[in-house]
Each structure stands twice: as C-alpha cells, then as structure tokens.
Amino acid sequence: MASGRMEFHARTIMQHANFAFVLPNDIEKPEVKDLRHYDRPTKSLILLHGLTGTDTDWLFGGVAQEMAIQYNLAVFMPTAGNFFYLDRGYEGGNYGAYVGRELIEYIREVFGYCQRREDTIIGGLSMGGYGALHTALAYPETFSGCIALSSALRIRDIATGVPSANVIMSEKMERDIFGDPAELLDSDRNPEVQLRTLRSAGKALPRMYLAIGTEDSLLTCNRRFRDFLAQEKADFRYEEGPGAHNWTFWNEYLNRGLSWMLS
C-alpha cells in the first residue's frame, strides 16, 4: 500500500508541519474483504494522535493501514504537538485552524482528496478524540463525520478544578493549553457550546461516533457528553465496552466506528 511522510510550510502554526499518509491507490483487489467500498470514490480520514503522540502512532501501533485498505480510505495523520488541536490566538500558534482548514486545503491541492464534505471524516484518540470532535464542530462544512475514541472530554473537569488522571498533565501545562479555567465553560473550546452554536445557526452537524472503555479513567466525562448529545438529539452513536486506554481498544473501535459510518 502506498504510504509516506511529508511536510510543508503551514502558516497557521508557522512550521514545516509534518504528516504521514497511506493511500489506497495501489491496492491489489484480493487484499480487500468487502469490495463494495471500491465501487465508490476514495474517502478521506484525518486521524489525530493523543498526548505525546506523533504522525506515525496510528501506523505503528494502530491499524491505519488496514482500515485504509478495507474501507478505501486515504488516511492523513498530522503531528500537532500537545495543544489539543486548539488555536492559541495568534497566527503561528493556531493548531485548530491548522488541522481543520490549512491541512485540508493543502491535501486538496496536492492530492485532490478531502474535496467533498460527505467524503471527509476526522477521528482521533484521547487528546485526539477531543480534537476530532472539536475540529469537526469548528469546521462542520468540511467534515461530515467524526470518530472520537477514549476522548479527553475534560473541559468541565478543568473548569471545575478536577485534576487529570494523566500524570503528564500538570495544572501549569493545562493552563498553557486551555487558558483561564474560569472562561473555559462558555468558550468555543467546549464542544457543548460549539454544538449549540451550530444548532442556533441552523447548520448541519457532523455525525458523531464515540467509544470509551469501561476501565478508562475518562469514562465518566464521555458518559456525560453522551447524555448531552442525547438531550440535543444529535445524530450520534456511543459505544462502551471492556477495555482500557490502549491500542487494543482503539483499533477495535476505530473499525467499529468506520463500519457504522461508511455502511
């Protein structure tokens, strides 16, 4: 299967931003289980890493390549630091605009993928699960779907001072990323606010798939977001299952999420 890593000058984050990709354009058909996915044009999936992660995570630990083959997906995996795919408020630090707009535009220009909303999905794990939700809700005209796995949906916890179970995440680091906790709940960093804003404006929401393991410390905040989505009557699917915060869980549920979204 075609694969690579490349980088380009991204203005939003003022970096030669790096991403990995797999492209199902050289697939031998016998490798594919369900050929119906090859009766349609290739769809695109942006896959986001978790905290401390990098562009190869979904390739080395995860099943990005297998999913690309089975579902006829061009998969793009950016490296974007530990900023939760959020904008820092100045040109050069806007990681949300990078993933949601500039990267997409660049992929369109160079590869021709991500052209149509119905063909463009974003997914991620942990920090990247939050990032996938937040980015899909920030750019709903770009993404028709979102797959959020073991998502770090901690906005409410951060705002109310509940410390992270992640030993990496100090209070100082959290403040550097999310800003003043007192302003967080009502900001557009809160997916609930984002969703309600889209609703008010009469805009289409992305379809949302969420999954969380029952041994994951993020279980409670994911259930809370599930309740919010149910209350909002959003088009979503939420799954819980035995599992922890690891590749065994993410690989199984990425597959389940894609199967639900693409069938």
| Nearest residue to 254 (alpha-carbon basis) of 56, 86, 58, 18 | 58
H or E segment to which residue 59 belongs: helix 57-60
- Which value, in Å, is the radius of gyration of the alpha carbons in the chain? 17
**How far is C-alpha 53 from the chain's CA centre?**
13
Q: Counting contacts by CB under 8 A, is residue 105 touching a second copy?
A: no
Q: Counting contacts by CB under 8 A, is residue 103 touching a second copy?
A: no
CB of 23 to a second copy, least distance (A): 7
DSSP notation for 5-44: EEEEEETTTTEEEEEEEEETTS--GGG-S-GGGGSSPPEE
The angle subtended at Cα 85 by Cα 79 and Cα 91, nearest 5°, is 95
Q: Counting contacts by CB under 8 A, is residue 25 touching a second copy?
A: yes
Query: CA-CA-CA-CA torsion for 222, 86, 125, 138, nearest 10 degrees?
Result: 70
Q: Counting contacts by CB under 8 A, is residue 7 touching a second copy?
A: yes
> 39 in helix, strand or coil?
coil
Q: Counting contacts by CB under 8 A, is residue 153 touching a second copy?
A: no
| Structure tokens belonging to residue 76 | 């793009």
Contacts of a second copy in 192-251 (CB under 8 A): 246-247
Contacts of a second copy in 39-98 (CB under 8 A): 51-54, 56-57, 59-61, 64-66, 79, 81-82, 88-93
Alpha carbon distance 7, 141 (integer Å): 25
Select the residue interacting with a second copy from 141, 172, 200, 263 (CB under 8 A).
172
Q: Counting contacts by CB under 8 A, is residue 181 touching a second copy?
A: no
Q: Counting contacts by CB under 8 A, is residue 176 touching a second copy?
A: yes
CB of 120 to a second copy, least distance (A): 18
Select the residue interacting with a second copy from 29, 118, 168, 182 (CB under 8 A).
168
**How far is C-alpha 16 from the chain's CA centre?**
21
CB of 28 to a second copy, least distance (A): 7
Nearer to a second copy, 25 or 160 (CB): 25
Q: Counting contacts by CB under 8 A, is residue 170 touching a second copy?
A: yes
Helix axes 247-262, 64-71, angle to 10 degrees: 20
Contact set with a second copy (CB under 8 A): 1-9, 14-16, 18, 21-23, 25-26, 28, 31, 51-54, 56-57, 59-61, 64-66, 79, 81-82, 88-93, 106, 109-112, 168-170, 172-173, 176, 246-247
